[in-house]
Chain A
């Protein structure tokens, strides 16, 4: 029973599951699904040993395998203690059972075919995730697992881009072997051709992102394209030899020798009947070895399955004793729901899923990964999942850590806004405890600064988190009392409410004294200017610009307010001053000129056009952060 049914079934499951990498994670212990068939195959082999059958893998394969296992053990025990020993053991076990079980030609051919099929499926999912041809629920949430912030390359299924490149490359070469096998059935060759085309297309998207995509390369570290290209390429190289632990060097040498030995067996036997699959297997092993040399961290335990299948095929064949069990390959269909579930859902408790960005950011934080990489990665997450609020919370925490309180409060405010529609977020929004911890840290950092450098970050964050009363109380503590309301209070109150992000607070602030409000505006970084020509009372001009917008607003005394112009895509089009075209602007028009200093044109009826130039509020370039410039214009002197 075990030998006849369980062994081929486990082997087929193993061969079909491994290429899916992240997508085959089981939802309880968050382990790769292929652990189950490997354990089944180990039990089957133990059962066979008890029945007197000897282990068939030759010594030339066994000793490098033992060295690899020993090196992994040495690293785990002595070098850094962080080496993934369970992964190394799993890879060793997967290789051993695959070598032992893949010596029957039919079983081995089906296994390789299933691996190519799974690789093509994973490649197709990657293409869907990359191009996003449909914006329905499923494809919208088809969040790629692997993303390289340095190059912009994206693959859906692997834990890292190099791992996915290795998987797709070796599966393509195996598929080519099926396609060019003259002894194969026509449908098998046609299916292999389609699979190869899909996998090559997925590999092509990675190559295009790394080397060809315009706009990506110049942004890499702010370097010129040529330097960026070189940087993108060299970033994929392995670390210098001096930084690699000796146990890893020994393991690497043993692995390369094992792969050379397996490839040599396939090449030496190329004159045999099924030469195309043999040569394709050898080519896949050599290509895999080259990629492992070039791409650090590309290997994952699943690749040991394919290496074992190819190695088993290079050994002398064993008489088939499993009979016609091709139908067992159909059990792989059982894996499809698990793959589909993992493709659209991220478990917040799964620390191994690279899409669980909260865990990844914590790891990057511990490894001191540059802030630019972090921001690019979080922008990538928001691009695929716009409903994310935790990404903004993480950004706010990073800005707070870096000492940019205004930007921290801005991102915290964005994290508090619930999404309007569409699919839900990958990870839950920040909890009440996390929000309280952020506010507490922001308050401590803000109060440690001199009053004139505090800004309104803490109060903005309080209002964003739904505590406007606390924000008003906090503002009260910061100013000197002024009993009698004076002229200018309405404009100052409206501007301050706007800066706080709470227009509803204007009514409360109007009851405050003008000097109090002016003091708060100055604390918020306002520059006090002479009176605004054409305006009777005091005025406040705010110019806020971010990565994708410019927003200018003029607040006039006596309650009249100017109009705001929100211009998404700053720099995309040129605006000309209306008076230059001989036209009269409408009342209260505020205009932001692209490519230079902000000029606000105000037509105060019946007063003539007023032009206000705002030095320091330059709109040239696109800032990474949101910047706000505030100008306070005093009231006209009655004399």
Chain B
């Protein structure tokens, strides 16, 4: 029983560590990368030739 509880605690600690790392990665990429929606030029700017 004690082993099971210790293993569950270990699992939770590992899960929290992975989750925090993933959140940090998501925050970093969003902070560093420009917004995709704002970087899309309007269609007429590119397609219009005249």
Q: Is chain B found bound to chain A in the same assembly?
A: yes
Q: Known: A290-B25, A404-B49. Contact between A240 and B14, CB under 8 A? A: no
A289 contacts B22, C-beta separation under 8 Å: yes
Interface size on A, residues (CB 8 A): 42
A interface footprint on B26-50 (CB within 8 Å = 1, 0 otherwise): 1001101111111111111111111
B49 contacts A402, C-beta separation under 8 Å: yes
A351 interface residue, CB < 8 Å from B?
A: no
Q: Which of B15, B25, B35, B43 is within 8 Å of A368, CB to CB?
A: B43
A263 interface residue, CB < 8 Å from B?
A: yes
Give the CA-CA distance A264 to B50 in the complex, in Å: 59
Q: Which secondary structure characterizes the binding site on chain B? A: helix
B43 contacts A263, C-beta separation under 8 Å: no
B22 contacts A268, C-beta separation under 8 Å: no
B interface footprint on A404-421 (CB within 8 Å = 1, 0 otherwise): 100100000000000000
Chain A residue contacts of B50, Cβ below 8 A: 402-404
Chain B residue contacts of A239, Cβ below 8 A: 35-37
B interface, size bucket:
35 or more
Chain A residue contacts of B44, Cβ below 8 A: 402
B14 contacts A402, C-beta separation under 8 Å: no
How far does the Cβ of A227 sit from chain B's closest Cβ, in whole Å? Answer: 13
Give the CA-CA distance A244 to B43 in the complex, in Å: 23
Chain B residue contacts of A407, Cβ below 8 A: 49
Give the CA-CA distance A286 to B19 in the complex, in Å: 10
Residue of A nearest to B38 (CB): A240
Q: Known: A264-B12, A370-B41, A371-B46. Contact between A240 and B30, CB under 8 A? A: yes
Q: Known: A241-B30, A371-B46, A398-B47. Contact between A286 and B18, CB under 8 A? A: yes
Give the CA-CA distance A256 to B26 in the complex, in Å: 10
Q: Which of A238, A243, A257, A268 is within 8 Å of B11, CB to CB?
A: A268
Q: Known: A370-B46, A625-B49. Contact between A238 and B33, CB under 8 A? A: yes
Additional pairs, 10, CB under 8 Å, beyond known A237-B30, A293-B29: A238-B36, A240-B36, A259-B22, A260-B19, A264-B11, A265-B11, A293-B26, A370-B47, A371-B46, A403-B50
**Which residues of A pack against B, CB within 8 Å?**
234-235, 237-243, 252-253, 256-257, 259-261, 263-265, 267-269, 286, 289-290, 293-294, 296, 368-372, 374, 398-399, 401-404, 407, 625
Provide 16 A-B residue pairs closer than 8 Å at the C-beta atoms, listed in order of the A residue. Answer: A234-B33, A237-B33, A238-B29, A238-B33, A239-B36, A240-B30, A256-B26, A260-B15, A264-B12, A289-B18, A290-B25, A293-B22, A293-B26, A294-B25, A296-B36, A372-B47
